[in-house]
Amino acid sequence: MRKFQFHLITFLLAAFSLVAHAEKADKDKPIEIEADTVTVNDAKKTSIYTGGVIVTQGTLVIHADKLVVREDAIGFQHSTSYGEPTTFKQKREGKDEYMEGSAQRIEYDGRMDKIQLYTKAWVKRAEDIVHGDYIMYDANAEYSEVIGGGPKSATSATPTGRVKAIIQPKNKNVPAENSVNTK
């Protein structure tokens, strides 16, 4: 059981550390936002984008029905995306693979470097995937948490609404070192 917990924790840390494992060059790229409408309130330092929202920054792509972005007094960005579902996809640093996920609501706290996915949430890295009704990753504390929602949060992937993780073996695609060549 401890080995499973270690692998689950390792997967969760890798899966949700979007900042640490994302393409480092992405943060230096311009942010492009498409939407049907935008409302900007400079006094409150908020922007609300609605209608087929698409956010692109380098390899990061977010799709949402609504995106709310606010800047706090110190200058950190905070965002909440809503959708049926809202999704994200981003290339991982130095790898030819992507991190992707989905939920009904995704919140990002730029100051705390924390991401939270609410309601019918899942995150996938390569062939590893975790499902839950709530998924949180705190990059500063290197802490993650996944909570099931019981029968009320059941999906086709999690018919009981419990947390579900599928983690592939590390050596899945590695040929055996001592295999005998029969040719």
* pLDDT in the model for residue 137: 86
* pLDDT in the model for residue 120: 95
Q: What is the pLDDT of residues 85-98, one digit of tens each?
A: 999 988 877 788 88
* pLDDT in the model for residue 175: 55
Q: What dotted CATH number matches 2-166?
A: 2.60.450.10
CB 82 within 8 A of CB 102: no
What is the residue extent of each domain of the chain?
Answer: 2-166
Which amino acid is residue 161, in one-letter code?
G
* pLDDT in the model for residue 80: 95
pTM: 0.78
Beta strand 114-125 with 128-138 is antiparallel
Peptide bond just before 85 cis, omega within 30 deg: yes
What string of pLDDT tens digits covers the 183 residues of the chain? 444 444 444 444 444 444 445 556 677 888 899 999 999 999 999 999 999 999 988 888 999 999 999 999 998 889 999 999 999 988 877 788 888 999 999 999 888 888 899 999 999 988 889 999 999 988 778 788 999 999 989 999 999 999 999 988 877 555 555 444 444
How far is it, in rounded angstroms, from Cα 62 to Cα 50? 13
CB 88 within 8 A of CB 100: yes
* pLDDT in the model for residue 24: 63
- At residue 165, φ and ψ (nearest 5 deg) are -125, 135
- What percent of the chain shows pLDDT beyond 70? 80
Can you point out the beta strands (E) in the chain?
Answer: 32-34, 37-41, 46-57, 60-71, 77-91, 98-109, 114-125, 128-138, 143-147, 164-166
* pLDDT in the model for residue 22: 55
> Looking at beta carbons, which pairs linking 29-32 to residues 24 or more positions away fall under 8 Å?
29/57, 29/58, 30/57, 31/55, 31/56, 31/57, 32/56, 32/57
